[in-house]
Amino acid sequence: MLRTTLTAAAALSLAAGAVHAQDSELSGTLTIFSDMSNPAPRAVMEDMAARFGEMHPDLEIELTIIDREAYKTQIRNFLTANPPDVANWYAANRMAPYVDAGLFEDVSDLWAEPEIADNLASTKGALTLDGKQWGVPYTYYQWGVYYREDIYEELGLEEPQDWETFKSNCQTMLDSGVKCFTVGTKFLWTAAGWFDYLNMRTNGYDFHMQLTQGEVEWTDERVRQTFANWRELIDMGAFIDNHQSYSWQEALPFMVNGEAAAYLMGNFAVAPMREAGLSDDQLDFYQFPAINPDVELAEDAPTDTFHIPSGAENKEAAREFLRFVVSAENQTQINSGDGLGQLPVNSQSSVDDDEMLNQGFEMLSSNAPGGIAQFFDRDAPAEMASVAMEGFQEFMVFPDNLEDILGRLEQARQRIY
């Protein structure tokens, strides 16, 4: 565990080239606990704390960086026994236990400020529980369909905007001897990505959230319709064979080699695809198309967050730090390729000149009116996510088992919730 104390002098030395220190009434000590322990995120966190310290020279900042895995096991203890003023965590259901336990501060007042309300609107739902907001986001990344643009062009295919075109494109690929999608479901969560998109496109974001929160039966006909849509792709042979034998990384060569034309995946898959030899002329991205025209488009965009523990001592400085974190200028800086290499949460920020990041930023900032989901294993409790993801993988291999699968999921729902 690294512990760094950033006084005004230290902040000035660490933030060389930053904006000149501003007069401020903030004083005392601001304690920050962070799980940004890998080298690049750690540098981002240290620099961000230093720049904030330069802006508020009468404020002493104590930054404690904890290994990410250790942080997950320690967070409840330190929130209860010795809470910092600011702490990292995750959005949606992952923050629910600490909200329910009264360990996170209600920061709805921040979300009522125009600068945050207008520019962070797409992420508000992910930070909302019981009609209140409990933190702010600082980074996220898009999911969507990454595809071989050269194969699509060779087959005369356009990016699909609707379900029928999505399926007809797939049939054209299959007729040419190319699988529509690579996927590796060995570790289950990739199958959950398919469920997320099919369910949100079939039934909408609100229904999806109700399902992950245990408020809808898994045997509901609307859930069955999601699986019926999924089965259309399975019965076509849209997915690579034996996908249950591959991790997500082991499924990449099928796309790189041209045996499959697309991958429903998060933006973190782009770098290894480029490293494996795909050029930007070969690789492109599109938003998962509409299925139900009455449903607004929602997206998976896992979101990392900052929170103020309810037991924090310097809540005034903590709130000012959260404002700083989500500001357009800071968001541009910390999410650049030299920093986190992900997407800024502020719609007024700018993005590195990377085709995939720019498309993802445009999609999440202006074309996700249905809402931002966090991914199934963050939106659902861990035990429910485990049972459900096993069922999703089983369905992709043995779709005739659907009734048994839904029965097991419903039993689990009644027990877990």
Q: Which domains does the chain have, with CATH numbers?
A: 2-140+304-371 (3.40.190.10), 143-300+381-416 (3.40.190.10)
Question: Would you state the pLDDT for residue 4?
Answer: 65
CA distance 200 to 242: 26
Question: Would you state the pLDDT for residue 413?
Answer: 98
CA distance 17 to 1: 28
Report, as ranges of residue numbers, the positions in the chain whose pLDDT lies below 70.
1-24
Which candidate, 327, 307, 326, 186, places its Cα nearest to that of 250? 186
CA distance 204 to 263: 22
The values of phi and psi at residue 375, to 5°, are: 100, 145
Question: Would you state the pLDDT for residue 338?
Answer: 82
Question: Would you state the pLDDT for residue 68?
Answer: 86
> Pairing mode, if any, of strands 179-181 and 260-266?
parallel
Q: What is the pLDDT of residues 275-313, one digit of tens each?
A: 999 999 999 999 999 999 999 999 999 999 999 999 999
Contact 276, 284 (CB under 8 A): no
Question: Would you state the pLDDT for residue 260?
Answer: 98
